[in-house]
Structure 1
């Protein structure tokens, strides 16, 4: 019984820590901010948005008030923000307008989803938008590595901060996509759902550590900037 309670306590701590995990890359990025180029400053800004949303949601949850509206606001911010970052990275290969347009499409989609299907006023989790965001991020991550590995003179990945960012994106969003699809469309068991969110907390902490590594690294060398 004691071991079981200890495990529950560990999961509780894991969930609590996950709500503050974005502070890790935020602190690293703030210390290293002057050396960050626009794309990594954008990543830093998205970490700030995520941390603020998590804290507002946590406060409302502690007050037993509906808090899912924060995620309804955060999802399109992340979609547009990441599309703006990827358009800079894909610019030599793919039209920046096309990449940014994918993110901008999330704005009307999120609004329509909130009005017709999953209203934040009804405390409905915006899983439709979350799944779509995860699918977009997985697509961008896979596309980045595909383009990178098809370069005739690809530079070592471990010294490239883009590798750590895209690796983190693929890890977190592919895991989230799998977990949320199961919960939303295949299994409605409350115990299973709580286990899924514990797993997602673990993914989130790992993700934020990888982003912190990327924000700590030095700027790219001229040959790395080629792509």
Structure 2
């Protein structure tokens, strides 16, 4: 992969984030709870991209930004699954998961990968946990006695995007600091593919924010599919 193609892919991956941001601006009051939770991830990602590009332009190491981004992103994602999997896992499970990951991230910074190093240990662990939660959500859907309309369920699109993104990025996160100390053809190809995966994830974000959840009625009460 040429450096020019890589730069174009990363630019597109950053610019496409403006699409869900625009949708949020016009639809925020009409969003369901799960969509509003996703909006915080979108806003955080846009802010991180702006800061990262600014530091890169000034030739300043932007890796410290991603250390903090990883932790905050993980907590926001876990908060989404806390509601979506409330019938599967207890609140204590998600609280322990959050605290445990934050502690691991701090230990990783202090003893293994400092702020100027890509935090592959933390991102790999995050990927494994999110994949587990994503598969758990799909399993919970299969166990439902009454099936809902998935195409209008924001959580279905969010969960699908997370599963595709973290499954595809897992190897890249794990290998980054061991195989790619310098910019090589191989590193450009893998990070170029990562940019494509980012674009795909953003498309899932766009769909998740755009759909209008339908109200489903069961025997006992009415509830909104989130």
Superposition TM-score, scaled by structure 1 size: 0.88
Could you say what secondary structure the match of 1:119 adopts?
Answer: coil
**Residues 1:50 and 2:45 aligned together:** yes
**Residues 1:29 and 2:3 aligned together:** no
Contact 1:68/1:124 (8 A) holds in 2: yes
Question: Which residue of 74, 86, 89 corresponds with 2:84?
Answer: 89
Question: Which residue of 27, 31, 34 corresponds with 1:39?
Answer: 34
Structure 1 residues 137, 220: closer, same or farther in 2, change over 3 A?
farther
Could you say what secondary structure the match of 1:152 adopts?
Answer: coil
Post-superposition offset of 1:155: 1.8
**Residues 1:154 and 2:131 aligned together:** no
- Count residues with an aligned counterpart: 220
Could you say what secondary structure the match of 2:67 adopts?
Answer: helix
Structure 1 residues 48, 71: closer, same or farther in 2, change over 3 A?
same
Task: Supply the distance in 2 between the matched residues of 1:184 and 1:124 (Cα, whole angstroms).
Answer: 8
Partner of 1:194: 188
Post-superposition offset of 1:184: 4.2
Post-superposition offset of 1:48: 0.8
Partner of 1:69: 64
Partner of 1:116: 111
Bigger RCO (CA 8 Å, 6+ sep): 2
- Per-residue CA deviations over 1:42-82 (Å, capped at 9, x if unaligned) read 11011111111111111111111111000001001011111
**Residues 1:78 and 2:68 aligned together:** no
Post-superposition offset of 1:37: 2.4
Partner of 1:176: 169
Post-superposition offset of 1:28: 1.4
RMSD of aligned Cα (Å) = 2.1
Structure 1 residues 72, 144: closer, same or farther in 2, change over 3 A?
same
Could you say what secondary structure the match of 2:39 adopts?
Answer: helix
**Residues 1:217 and 2:193 aligned together:** no
Task: Supply the distance in 2 between the matched residues of 1:79 and 1:161 (Cα, whole angstroms).
Answer: 19
